Structure 1
Amino acid sequence: MWKRFKRVVASLFGGAISAMEDPRLILEQNMRELNDQVPKMNENIATVKANVMLLQKENKKYANEQAAMTAKIKAAIQAGRDDIAQRYALRLQQVKEAQLRTGEQLQFAESAYEKALQVKKAFMRERERKVQEAQEALRAHERAKWQAKIADTLEQFEVAGVDATHSEMINRVNEQTAKSEARMEMALDSIDTEAMQIEEDAQDIQAQELVKQFKLEMGMEAPAPAARQPQIQIPDEEISSASGAARDRARTE
């Protein structure tokens, strides 16, 4: 009975939570969390690297101490001071043991550092893949929202009869435009455009003559020379006959 009750409660709250979830907001939050993991990972890797460097320094210090102890032991033996050589020998044995432990720790630390770098590399590769997937999903979500809006608009056109009204109004506007253009063409055909052009040309000539007259009065232009009359040559016979006729009319009078 208790299990059935828990299952009912889980189904109720699960459905409510699922309805409240916004996939876009969750994906954006996931990308932020992935980005926030990078600084933490870098900090952990830096800690591992620092441990490696400390162990390397300690191992180098033990190596230097071992070399110094070996030199002192040899010097004490040459000086015949076996007691001093024995004390340095014990100290040398302790240094060797410490160096051995440090060497083992250094190997583990270096291995851990290499693994940390590999983990970071794998994490960055997976993070890049997830971020790209999330970005593509968000872009697809935005495209889907835009397409849904367009679909709603088209559906509203069809439901509200906007398409039919729109087409009817376009046809009416085209008809009115055609009628206006036809009236304009008829009006232009009824006007004697040739006579209007002739009148405009006559006005231009008249204006030119007036301007020319003003220039003559102002002395800005010389008058045009008078045209010479052609001389008519009269034959001598016609002149003689004309003179005789004139004398006859005089006697008659």
Structure 2
Amino acid sequence: MWNRFTRAMRSFFGFFVSSIEDPELILEQNIRDLNDQVPKMNESIAMVRANLTLLEKENVKYKNDIRDLTAKVKAAIQAGRDDLAAQYATKLQTEKAALERNEQQLETAKQAYEKSLNLKKAFMREKDRKTQEAMNAIRDARRAQWQSKVADAMESFQVAGIDATHDEMVRKVNEKAAVNEARMQMALESVDHQAVQIEEDAERLQAMDLVKQMKMEMGLQSPAPVSEVGGGTEKTIGKKVEIK
């Protein structure tokens, strides 16, 4: 039971952390943390350099002391003061031992300083790389957010039924146009075009006769001769009818 409870609590806290976790904010904080480490690293390198400088100064001092003590030992020997020469020789041995330790420490300090400089170079390269990756990821995240907003907007348009309504209305308009076109075609096919043409010709002849009649009334045109009017009929006046 306790294991189930602890597992449930871990899952709850894991869900809570993941829900409030913002990758963009975390990457920005990582960039700030990397930049904050640079002054601390410079301070550490400065301390290593200061230790190296101190050892270099001690090395110079030990060498000067050894040179002076060597000269004193020689001078005491030349003066016949072996006891004094022995005292200087003892100090000389002590200084030589100190110089040997100093040179070992100096070599170690030089190596530490070089390693610290190399470490800083590697850190700066890694910092620049991670910073660039973080900036690219932040830009990608912002672009993804914009694309998500655009996608949500487009999906909201589709959910609202705009596309479906548009397609449906276009289909209805096309159907209505097709029906009207079919009705017009059927109406045109049902009309007797020959009868219409005959009626148009008759109306045109009547109009021409009316124009001629009005011209005759106005004296603009004389009546046609009788022979022309009845030229097509056979005359029977004055003829004898033969009776058999």
TM bucket, shorter chain: 0.5 to 0.7
TM-score when normalising by structure 2: 0.64
- Code of the residue aligned with 1:158 in structure 2: it is Q
**Secondary structure, counterpart of 1:136 in structure 2:** helix
Matched residues, percent identical? 60
| Residues 92-124 of structure 1: per-residue CA shift (max 9 Å, x gap) | 011011111111111111111111112111111
Counterpart in the other structure of 1:227: none
Counterpart in the other structure of 1:145: 145
Alpha-carbon distance in 2 for matches of 1:9, 1:157: 41
Residues 1:122 and 2:122 are matched in the alignment: yes
Spell out the pairing of 1:47-62 with structure 2 (5 A cutoff): 47-62=47-62
Shift, 1:141, TM fit: 0.8
- Code of the residue aligned with 2:29 in structure 1: it is Q
- Code of the residue aligned with 2:159 in structure 1: it is V
Structure 1: tracts of 5 or more residues without a match: 168-253
Shift, 1:85, TM fit: 0.7
Residues 1:34 and 2:9 are matched in the alignment: no
Alpha-carbon distance in 1 for matches of 2:144, 2:120: 35
- Code of the residue aligned with 1:143 in structure 2: it is R
Shift, 1:146, TM fit: 1.3
- For residues 118 and 12 of structure 1, do their structure 2 counterparts lie closer, same or farther at Cα, with a shift above 3 Å needed? same
| Residues 202-246 of structure 1: per-residue CA shift (max 9 Å, x gap) | xxxxxxxxxxxxxxxxxxxxxxxxxxxxxxxxxxxxxxxxxxxxx
State the number of aligned residues. Answer: 167
Alpha-carbon distance in 1 for matches of 2:4, 2:73: 82
- For residues 161 and 3 of structure 1, do their structure 2 counterparts lie closer, same or farther at Cα, with a shift above 3 Å needed? closer
Counterpart in the other structure of 2:82: 82
Alpha-carbon distance in 1 for matches of 2:5, 2:119: 43
* Bigger mean CA offset, 108-117 vs 43-52: 108-117
| Residues 42-64 of structure 1: per-residue CA shift (max 9 Å, x gap) | 10011001001100100110001
Q: CA RMSD in A?
A: 2.0
TM-score when normalising by structure 1: 0.62
Alpha-carbon distance in 2 for matches of 1:48, 1:163: 71
**Secondary structure, counterpart of 1:80 in structure 2:** coil
**Secondary structure, counterpart of 1:151 in structure 2:** helix
Structure 2: tracts of 5 or more residues without a match: 168-244
Counterpart in the other structure of 1:109: 109
Counterpart in the other structure of 1:155: 155
| Residues 110-169 of structure 1: per-residue CA shift (max 9 Å, x gap) | 1111111121111111111111111001000111111122222223333335568999xx
Alpha-carbon distance in 1 for matches of 2:80, 2:29: 77
Shift, 1:4, TM fit: 4.0
- Code of the residue aligned with 1:130 in structure 2: it is K
Counterpart in the other structure of 1:69: 69
